[in-house]
């Protein structure tokens, strides 16, 4: 096999290395492999995950804590830590309350704590924690390199943009807001500015944009490159992961997959063409543990691992397909269908295909998304004649925020002076307002699910949980403030909990880490009394195709073993969506 060989990577001597890109492209594998390589060379390395859905523990095959930095037991020059968003949020809240001083009344302290209960506080706290590892507070000088396995692109860019937004907001507000008391945050201005300066310095920081040879992944990388450049962060490199080189060129399926990848690489978005780039091969095994991480840069290690991989001796068990899933969802004739899962697993294409299929069968369907990346149009646009019974919407965070602010100003500004209205508007100009605005739009969209189908393509896992947390808080607020009999209230939160109305579909990939992350999401949902209805294992190599290419045979065997294990432990229904080798994914699915 003609593997692409990388014995080392050129790190340009920058201390801070950021890996970012669309979810599921291999950021964690490449960032971890880089950290291991540097540590193997004798450098002191700190690997940090700022992803709410971090899976460093799986990849490194050792426990990665979220409270203290720990050395890897088998590679002591490598240290690791997760920045846990919830833990960071609670710590941030306590620090903000403490900063109020002795003169603050109990009532005011309670008011501030309530203001800090919003979902966006968690993101702000994560950024606040993240900055400590670049500034001097967390002893970064103890390491030669600090590698960041960052969150999905949109989340990462939002974190990077926050300091400027805070500066404008805090410079004009002396009281408290949903992001904390102004006095507490202003004391951190210097640190935030120093961190942004470091990120912009090409002598200190490199951004690695990770992508696969797929259109949506490359579009996301191009958007990242553009937005990072607009933020003054120009030291970027492109890492193309999972490049497939077939062994058997007579295998038509293998040849088509390879041809699709080649076409994408020959037609890279213009903004990516100027970036230095490296390519990494598709490996038919999960990159878990130190030895497999080391194989990322070593042809010899890849071949040794493959020699121990057997393709025979496993009987494939058929799993219900996409058509069976739609048949199952159609039975009630209406309801809320929510696709959930980590970014990059195929929630958007699954939601789009479900919605179009139901509409093709004559049902009235609304398809909407709360995902800031909003890739719906990439898939619905592949269908020439969308059914008339289908309505496609997008909850645009920026638009919804503007609408929300105008309504709030109109309500709160009655009888107020021009200066007082100006202060109200400034107070609403905070990062938290977007979370509230998106929730209101989300609530409105799902209410029609009692009369028709509403299919919601949700944001990546971390954002989804934040959204549901906001939903739950809203429900408690309604119950507390309403004079209506609680038994007659049916808030959006209750609608999501009601399995007669809502069917939550967990979408994952046939790989160990995405399945474990989906299991973790399922546990979180169940704690909120939300019970997933079914699992969809997306991009599975088809069981009815007779592959002759050994890489695909190995990959399929590994995938089917994971699917079989999943079905043995899950009480939910499990469906499989085959990997589609054609350009027009939606047309093939339908």
pTM, two decimal places: 0.76
Give the span between the Cα atoms of 434 and 398, in whole angstroms.
7
- 95 pLDDT exceeds 90? no
Residues 209-234, mean pLDDT to the nearest whole number: 88
Confidence band (pLDDT; 50, 70, 90) for 41? very high
Q: What percent of the chain shows pLDDT beyond 70?
A: 76
Catalytic residue annotation:
24, 26-29, 51, 513
Of 160-164, 221-225, 275-279, 366-370, the least confident: 160-164
Task: Pick the more confident residue, 145 or 373.
Answer: 145
- Residues 6 and 297: beta-carbon distance below 8 Å: yes
The tens digit of pLDDT for each residue in 112-157 reads 776 666 555 666 677 778 788 888 777 888 999 999 987 544 444 4
Asked if 16-307 and 322-400+437-589 have one fold, the answer is yes
**Phi (first) and psi of residue 50, to 5 degrees:** -110, 15
CATH architecture of the domain with range 16-307:
3-Layer(aba) Sandwich (3.40)
The three-state (H, E, C) secondary structure of 473-529, written as one string: HHHHHHHHHCCCCHHHCCCHHHHHHCCCCEEEEEEECCCHHHHHHHHHHHHHHHHCC
Of 144-153, 211-220, 560-569, the least confident: 144-153
CATH architecture of the domain with range 322-400+437-589:
3-Layer(aba) Sandwich (3.40)
Confidence band (pLDDT; 50, 70, 90) for 5? very low
- 268 pLDDT exceeds 60? yes
Residues 6+ apart with CB under 8 A from 287: 26, 29, 32, 33, 59, 293, 295, 296
Confidence band (pLDDT; 50, 70, 90) for 378? low
**Residue matched to tokens 């896992």:** 461
- 266 pLDDT exceeds 70? yes
Task: Pick the more confident residue, 382 or 373.
Answer: 382
Written as one string, the DSSP assignment of 127-140 is HHHHHHTTSGGG-G
- 424 pLDDT exceeds 50? yes
What's the distance, CA 53 to chain centroid? 7
Amino acid 175: pLDDT: 46
Residues 6+ apart with CB under 8 A from 279: 4, 240, 243
Mean pLDDT of the chain: 80
Give the span between the Cα atoms of 401 and 386, in whole angstroms.
30
Give the span between the Cα atoms of 269 and 99, in whole angstroms.
48
Amino acid 586: pLDDT: 65
Amino acid 566: pLDDT: 93
Task: Pick the more confident residue, 43 or 109.
Answer: 43
Amino acid 135: pLDDT: 84
Amino acid 186: pLDDT: 56
Task: Pick the more confident residue, 382 or 299.
Answer: 299
Give the span between the Cα atoms of 166 and 188, in whole angstroms.
11
Instruction: Tell me the domain boundaries of the chain.
Output: 16-307, 322-400+437-589
Tokens found for residue 307 = 């020699």
Distances (CA, A) of 240 to 22, 152, 546, 569, 590: 12, 16, 28, 35, 30
Tokens found for residue 343 = 């970014």
- 89 pLDDT exceeds 80? no
* β-pair partners for 72: 75
- Residue ranges of alpha helices (H) inside 429-460 are 431-446
Distances (CA, A) of 264 to 214, 258, 305, 324: 6, 10, 29, 32
- Please count the other Cβ atoms lying within 10 Å of the Cβ belonging to residue 142: 11
The tens digit of pLDDT for each residue in 519-552 reads 888 887 887 788 899 999 999 999 988 889 888 8
Secondary structure class of 71 (helix, strand, coil): strand
């Amino acid at each position: 096999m003609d593997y692409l060989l990388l014995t080392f990577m050129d790190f340009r001597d920058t201390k801070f290395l950021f890996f970012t890109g669309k979810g599921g492209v291999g950021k964690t594998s490449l960032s971890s492999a880089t950290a291991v390589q540097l540590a193997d060379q004798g450098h002191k390395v700190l690997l940090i995950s700022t992803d709410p859905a971090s899976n460093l523990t799986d990849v490194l095959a050792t426990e990665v804590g979220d409270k203290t930095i720990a050395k890897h037991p088998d590679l002591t020059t490598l240290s690791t830590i997760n920045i846990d968003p919830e833990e960071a949020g609670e710590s941030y809240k306590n620090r903000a309350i403490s900063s109020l001083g002795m003169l603050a009344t109990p009532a005011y302290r309670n008011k501030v704590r309530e203001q800090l209960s919003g979902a966006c506080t968690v993101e702000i706290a994560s950024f606040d924690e993240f900055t400590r590892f670049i500034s001097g507070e967390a002893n970064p000088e103890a390491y030669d390199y600090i590698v960041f396995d960052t969150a999905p692109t949109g989340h990462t860019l939002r974190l990077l943009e926050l300091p400027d937004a805070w500066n404008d907001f805090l410079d004009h507000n002396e009281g408290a807001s949903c992001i904390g008391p102004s006095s507490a945050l202003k004391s951190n201005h210097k640190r935030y500015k120093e961190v942004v300066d470091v990120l912009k310095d090409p002598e200190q920081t490199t951004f690695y944009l990770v992508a696969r040879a797929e259109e949506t992944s490359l579009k996301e990388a191009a958007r990242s490159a553009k937005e990072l450049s607009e933020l003054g962060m120009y030291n970027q490199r492109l890492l193309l992961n999972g490049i497939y080189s077939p062994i058997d060129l007579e295998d038509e399926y293998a040849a088509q997959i390879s041809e699709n990848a080649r076409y994408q690489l020959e037609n890279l978005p213009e903004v990516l063409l100027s970036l230095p780039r490296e390519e990494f091969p598709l490996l038919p095994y999960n990159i878990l543990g130190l030895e497999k991480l080391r194989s990322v840069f070593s042809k010899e290690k890849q071949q040794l691992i493959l020699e121990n991989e057997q393709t025979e001796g496993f009987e494939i068990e058929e799993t219900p397909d996409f058509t069976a899933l739609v048949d199952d969802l159609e039975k009630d004739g209406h309801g809320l269908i929510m696709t959930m899962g980590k970014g990059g697993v195929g929630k958007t294409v699954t939601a789009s295909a479900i919605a179009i299929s139901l509409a093709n069968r004559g049902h009235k369907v609304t398809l909407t998304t709360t995902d800031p990346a909003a890739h719906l149009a990439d898939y619905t646009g592949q269908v020439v004649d969308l059914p008339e019974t289908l309505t496609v919407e997008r909850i645009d965070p920026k638009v919804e925020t503007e609408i929300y602010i105008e309504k709030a100003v109109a309500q709160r500004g009655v009888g107020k002076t021009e200066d007082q209205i100006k202060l109200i508007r400034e107070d609403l100009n905070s990062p938290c307002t977007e979370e509230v605005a998106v929730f209101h739009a989300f609530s409105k969209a799902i209410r029609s699910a009692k009369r028709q189908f509403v299919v919601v393509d949700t944001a990546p896992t971390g954002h989804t949980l934040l959204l549901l947390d906001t939903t739950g808080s809203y429900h408690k607020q309604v119950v507390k403030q309403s004079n209506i009999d609680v038994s007659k209230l049916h808030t959006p939160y209750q609608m999501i909990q009601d399995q007669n109305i809502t069917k939550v579909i967990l979408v994952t990939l046939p790989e160990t880490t995405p399945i474990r992350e989906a299991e973790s999401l399922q546990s979180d949902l169940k704690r909120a009394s939300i019970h997933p209805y079914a699992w969809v294992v997306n991009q599975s190599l088809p069981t009815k195709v007779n592959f002759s290419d050994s890489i695909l045979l190995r990959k399929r065997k590994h995938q089917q073993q994971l699917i079989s294990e999943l079905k043995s432990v899950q009480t939910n229904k499990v469906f499989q969506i085959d990997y589609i080798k054609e350009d027009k994914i939606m047309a093939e699915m339908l």
